[in-house]
């Protein structure tokens, strides 16, 4: 994929991997639209768990060539039976239904043009599990499933990927590893690997689960 001149949307771009990726894509010559719940310099307000906010974002940005569905939340580690249902809902509302809302807003344009790349952020915990991480694991397994199903439906030329960024030193990692993040990849290095992966993407990659 040639990145220069492409329009890209990165959700969850106020910090962590999303912020670093938005900056790296700008450096590659992309026109980057960054969104998050926290509005700020160069970041548009959009809580992906609120369908009306996703519709407003789509109306404001128009279609994009590259969609990075990066926004997600995590919980404090705890056994499945101890996590309140409201916390399960909070995770599914952002990590799964929020991602679906964004895909519903942007993939139809990609289908109409027969071009576009949608990257859905997955995790090692979308392909394996650990104790005390059930809600987050369940959302990321859902991301893998919906990405592969969507890949079966998109127009020829459109690419849907589930992307595992690895273990990256962010607020989210600090929460799930209870602060033990020494040795994790810096977000900027993760973003550089992401850009390298995007440069190599071809239509034949549609439906792949990718590790950075
Ligand atoms: N860090 C890792 O090691 C790791 C490993 C595997 C997978 N991942 C995945 O990589 C992605 C980025 O993770 P990260 O570590 O960078 O997390 P992070 O540091 O916690 O950042 C998450 C980003 O998502 C935004 N966000 C959260 N809820 C949102 C919502 N409802 N609507 C819009 N934006 C929302 C946050 O901004 P606001 O609070 O301003 O909205 C923030 O910009 C996630 O999908 C995560 O599951 C990360």
pLDDT in tens, 141-186: 999 999 999 999 999 999 999 999 999 999 999 999 988 889 999 9
Query: Is pLDDT of 106 > 90?
Result: yes
Domains of the chain: 7-211 (3.40.50.720)
Residue 69 phi, psi dihedral angles, 5° rounding:
-85, 85
From the CB of 48, is ligand 1 less than 6 Å away? Answer: yes
User: pTM (2 decimals)?
Assistant: 0.98
Segment 202-211 mean pLDDT? 98
Alpha-carbon gap, residue 135 to 133, rounded angstroms:
6
Query: Is pLDDT of 82 > 90?
Result: yes
**Atom 20 in ligand 1: residue holding the nearest Cα:** 172
Residues of the chain with pLDDT > 90, as a percent, come to 97
From the CB of 9, is ligand 1 less than 6 Å away? Answer: no
Q: How many residues does the chain have?
A: 212
In the reported structure, the alpha carbon of residue 111 is separated from the centroid of ligand 1 by a whole-number distance in angstroms of 27
From the CB of 181, is ligand 1 less than 6 Å away? Answer: no
The secondary structure of the chain in percent helix, strand, coil, rounded to multiples of 5, reads: 50, 15, 35
Segment 64-91 mean pLDDT? 98
- Ligand 1 pocket test target in 13, 14, 16 with most atoms within 8 Å of CB: 16
136 is catalytic: yes
**Atom 9 in ligand 1: residue holding the nearest Cα:** 121
Segment 203-212 mean pLDDT? 98
Query: Is pLDDT of 95 > 90?
Result: yes
From the CB of 126, is ligand 1 less than 6 Å away? Answer: no
């Amino acid at each position: 994929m040639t990145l220069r001149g492409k329009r890209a949307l990165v959700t969850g771009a106020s910090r962590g991997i999303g912020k670093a990726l938005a900056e790296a894509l700008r450096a590659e010559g992309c026109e980057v639209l960054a969104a998050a719940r926290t509005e700020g310099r160069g970041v548009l307000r959009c809580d992906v768990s609120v369908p009306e906010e996703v519709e407003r974002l789509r109306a404001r940005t128009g279609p994009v060539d590259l969609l990075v569905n990066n926004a997600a939340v995590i919980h404090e580690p705890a056994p499945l039976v101890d996590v309140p249902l409201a916390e399960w809902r909070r995770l599914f509302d952002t990590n799964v239904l929020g991602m679906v809302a964004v895909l519903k807003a942007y993939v139809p344009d990609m289908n109409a043009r027969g071009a576009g790349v949608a990257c859905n952020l997955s995790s090692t915990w979308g392909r394996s599990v650990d104790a005390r991480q059930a809600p987050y694991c369940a959302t990321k397994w859902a991301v893998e499933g919906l990405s592969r199903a969507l890949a079966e439906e998109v127009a020829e030329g459109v690419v849907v990927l589930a992307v595992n960024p690895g273990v990256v030193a962010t607020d989210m990692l600090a929460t799930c590893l209870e602060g033990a993040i020494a040795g994790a990849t810096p977000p900027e290095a993760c973003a550089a690997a992401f850009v390298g992966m995007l440069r190599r993407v071809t239509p034949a990659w549609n439906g792949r689960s990718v590790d950075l």
